[in-house]
Structure 1
Amino acid sequence: MLIAGFPAGAFQTNCYVVAPAAGEECVIVDPGQDATQGVEELLREHRLKPVAVLLTHGHLDHVWSVAPVCGARDIPAWIHPDDRHLLSDPAAGWSGTSASLFGDLQLSEPDDVRELSDGAVLPLAGLEFVVDHTPGHTRGSVSFRLPGDAIMFAGDLLFAGSIGRTDLPGGDYATILRSLAAKCLTLPDDTVVLPGHGPQTTIGRERAANPYLKEAAPHAGPTRGI
């Protein structure tokens, strides 16, 4: 399997391309701010043909470039219905001063938007992506697993040493803890976690050292980060 990625834009959001091998069809995960050029470079380098964009959630740092990326290749975007409104109303995912920073930003849905559901299996680019609904960071957050739970695209559910913040609209700390327990802690320790920000990690490493995954979890989630 081929997985290549890069941190995009001011938010340093990890954008990934996933394919069975070079020269094959591929899927693009979370094309964020200024991701278009980086995506095109990876497609050329590995001779890939994209067939879909998968979105872990609707925050603008993950969906900023989805319309141009989908439009250039005439491919669909997949997102959970609870976050679909954020594709065209990015300020709704932020609050207070943060929301005002993006008040004039104009984003739009791609022409072809398809909705994700918990437990769905998406056969794309010769691979099977298992969808897990993992609310808490946003109401429509999802993660994607393949194959045989060896790899997890976690979005902003789980990071190396931390978890996604829960103080933005649609976020909820108790909910994200339930998502982590149900969708992360049930996975094998050697599952590779490819997060929305920062370095990759494993479920075993986070189970052992991540304070938010410990039995005595803090009473409040992080209030900094993305």
Structure 2
Amino acid sequence: MFLIGFPADMLATNCFLLARAPGEDCVVVDPGGGIDGRLNEALRTHRLTPSALLLTHGHLDHTASVPQLAETYDVPTYIHVDDEYRLTDPMEQLGPEFRAMLEMQYGDIAWTRPGDVVTYGDGDTLSLAGLDLTIAHAPGHTEGSALFTVEDLPDAMPEDSGLSRTILAGDVLFSGGIGRTDLYGGDDAAMQASLRDVVLSMPDDSLVLPGHGPATTIGRERATNPFLAHLA
């Protein structure tokens, strides 16, 4: 699997491009705000063509570039059915203080709901850009937060890494942390259940690409993440 990742300007959200190889179609995962320059450079350098936008959840810092990209490339946007409503106006779910902070930092954020929205559910497998991504619904950060598993590793990973698969975790699991649950639609009890029943059920030899911060593994988080210690 060919994979490129880079942080967006807005809240340093990780955006990922997944493809079978350079020169082919790619999936754009979580296109946040302020990615234009890095995205265009990656597409041009590696001769990639977006064929779908895939969202781990509906928060604005993971979706801000969706309307522009959906129109520019005429591609569908995939999101969990429970977060679909957030694509109507993700600014609406922000509290007044958080919304004011974003507008002060990034200016007025225009939004148009993308025309072609496809919903997925727990256990679904999406075949996009020649890759199969299996969905695990993991609510708590938002109602429709999800993890995507690809039974492959990025080409850049060493062959002796000991890892077997890649998980795009959105804001469910970070290196040493988890997603917050105090925003609109968050639920701490649901998050605890997702961590126990979804995250901790995944094999230790899984590479984890989170929505913010550095990559990690399930094994490392099981052993060291303080938010999982009482659940393990």
TM-score scaled by structure 2? 0.88
Q: Contact 1:90 / 1:102 at 8 angstroms: preserved in 2?
A: no
Q: Which of 193, 196, 209 is 1:178 aligned to?
A: 193
Q: Which amino acid aligns with 2:151?
A: P
**Alignment partner, residue 202 of structure 2:** 187
Counterpart residue type for residue 193 of structure 1: V
- Please list every run of 5 or more consecutive structure 2 residues that lacks an aligned counterpart in the other structure: 153-163
Which is worse superposed, 201-210 or 179-188?
179-188
Distance 1:213 1:102 in 2: 30
The counterpart of 1:129, out of the listed 119, 126, 133, is 133
1:208, distance to aligned residue in structure 2 (A)? 0.3
Structure 1 residue 204, shift from structure 2 partner: 0.4
Gaps of 5+ in 1: 218-226
CA distance 1:135–1:216, shift in 2 (3 Å): closer
Partner of 1:147: 151
* Alignment correspondent of 1:210: 225
Q: CA deviation at 1:100?
A: 4.2
CA distance in 2, matches of 1:190, 1:216: 19
SS of alignment partner, residue 53 of structure 1: strand
Farther-moved stretch of structure 1 (42-51 vs 164-173): 42-51
Match of 1:167 in 2: 182
Distance (whole Å) between structure 2 residues aligned to residue 49 and residue 10 of structure 1: 23
1-structure distance, mates of 2:168, 2:132: 13
Letter paired with 1:208 = A
RMSD, aligned α-carbons: 1.7
Query: Is 2:10–2:32's contact at 8 Å kept on the other side of the alignment?
Result: no
Rounded Cα–Cα distance in structure 2 between residues aligned with 1:138 and 1:216: 20
Q: TM-score, normalised by structure 1?
A: 0.90
Q: What CA deviation, in whole Å up to 9, does each residue of 1:23-44 have, x standing for no partner?
A: 1111110000012332221111
Three-state SS of the structure 1 residue aligned to 2:17 is strand
Listed one character per residue, the Cα deviations across residues 32-90 of structure 1 (whole Å, up to 9, x for unaligned) are: 00123322211111111211010011110000001111111111000112222222322
Q: CA deviation at 1:10?
A: 3.1
Question: Contact (CA 8 Å) 1:20, 1:125: kept in 2 or not?
Answer: yes
CA displacement at 1:5 relative to structure 2: 0.9
Percent identity between the two aligned chains: 49
Deviation at 1:177, TM superposition (A): 1.3
Matches within 5 A, 1:49-60: 49-60=49-60
- For the 8 Å contact 1:91–1:100, the answer to whether it is kept is no
